[in-house]
Structure 1
């Protein structure tokens, strides 16, 4: 297994489980289960025991390995030099499990859906651009930007609303952009983190070839997960394209005066998406959008930025639901944290986070006092507010 030579270096000190001030636990799976086996350190020791033959692949071991949301909090807080490879070690172990042919059924079904239909929803490619109906959105034909929407933005009802809001803003600002529609392949980020390295390489090479064929030089992504794959993983396969998350583009449009927010009175808190924040290093852009809207009072949750609690959708869990949705699940803990701020709006920058947190609000019975909005949706609403 890749990284096998450093899997023994974890001393199980426990720093990886905490926020930087040691006030709270920040590993989503540990926070739910409260067993060290579900913490990064315990997971490392189990992987080592598996590699040395002390334990075997089992349903329980699969649950432990796949409960990791790859949020990167352990990378932020580990005290040792191998910290940058922590998430990569867990992904490499998943690759070994995939190669052995023994994986959780939900993970197997996810790979099957991507392989057959090109998306995890088992829906036809012809429906991939349905979200853009009745909007001034053109097919990509050499425009300055390709707006890469991704599977969740294309097929999920919540994600579609985000794609529509962002496209309206780009159009209003006069940005030259187009979409690939039914020709848009899956970016493969979740395929990679779930351990199917071969399928991920196949998707990356398809995307890169398509981008080259269509002359794509610049990409705006809706989903931070696609942003992560394009910026960090695609270069290995020759995909060297300028990629920006939509929040970064919207900030530039506001600062240049091409988008002029109007007053929108509300108290809001912001949830940092792991793949935009910890993985992507972008904490400022979404907050700049909020602060640019007159009337928005931004209040931070205690756990924010690099200490933000993951919604639990990362690492493929958005599709596999291995972490589940009971009261101790990270998405439900997160909406309770948001409610404690007194905010009426919970702002996100990721379609997976939007869905995870909306579901948690319903489960917590907070529909009448807390509403999830994407940063693009809020900006769009402020601009089009009567």
Structure 2
């Protein structure tokens, strides 16, 4: 049995009812359209076949699957059984955006009517109607107690704790001794894994990289040079792929060796330690880690699921609850670190991180400000003139709040 989506009793009627929500700000709809280009990280492996299969026709079962997040049925009556979260709805929209844009070749341009031909062009999933519906869904889910939570930003201090834990002598075993290494407990990371993760943390944090961009890096994409006069080392990274520059013209990332106070996020130092631990000379930078802490001999890239699992195990090592953190935590944390501690101008952060510099929708603000992040200053001390930082700021050598 097929569902008739052309009648007012179908999706059209539902959208007409919901998208007339007077509580929605038109500016929020524009923000959602902009943010749809930077949607949640979704594992796209095998998605193409699934989308093609589902595109053959919308059955009653499939329609119920699509609507299992909403609290309203097609006829407008409330749903009594438990529904999926708003985050699940975001992932389904991201999958639909990918299906229309990549598989069917409609691109990422917003759905609109051509002024010349009158035909509808662009990606239907990136439309004002869908964005309005998603915003309304989020408001209704929030009212029911389902609050969408973005990944908490990692801080420089957290990465410092991870760095010092991973730098313990027992995790600095040379590669020749790795064959006899066995993790002490299930899920514990060995020297190979910890060297890979430290490098991944530094690259994702300082380069504001998404996890799919990070895991596609190969050794030939990196160039390490040293100034013969000053002895200063720098590492150049030319990404082979970037979400916002899929047709080339990706500007290189250049990292210099950082001072000792920033050794825990120094990309050059982390790369040198990784080379010593892995012994690799070509292929993917981040390869699958086997159960015995051996890097996969075949040129097989690490999956985002394994990276996230090892990151969470590493957080448990330092006694941190891993639930609020995800792979996007590094991009969020690096953005905040560059803004608060390094005092980078907003335009410079957008250029480095690949965000739009038109500043009409300010997607960048969603990375700089989130209620889920740890506050930099306690609210009780906002007007406490005697409150002083615990340490001197390594950026400007003054006692300021960026410390």
Q: How high is the TM-score relative to the length of structure 1? A: 0.29
Q: Which has the higher helix share?
A: 1
TM-score by length of 2: 0.28
For the pair shown, the structure with the greater C-alpha radius of gyration is: 2
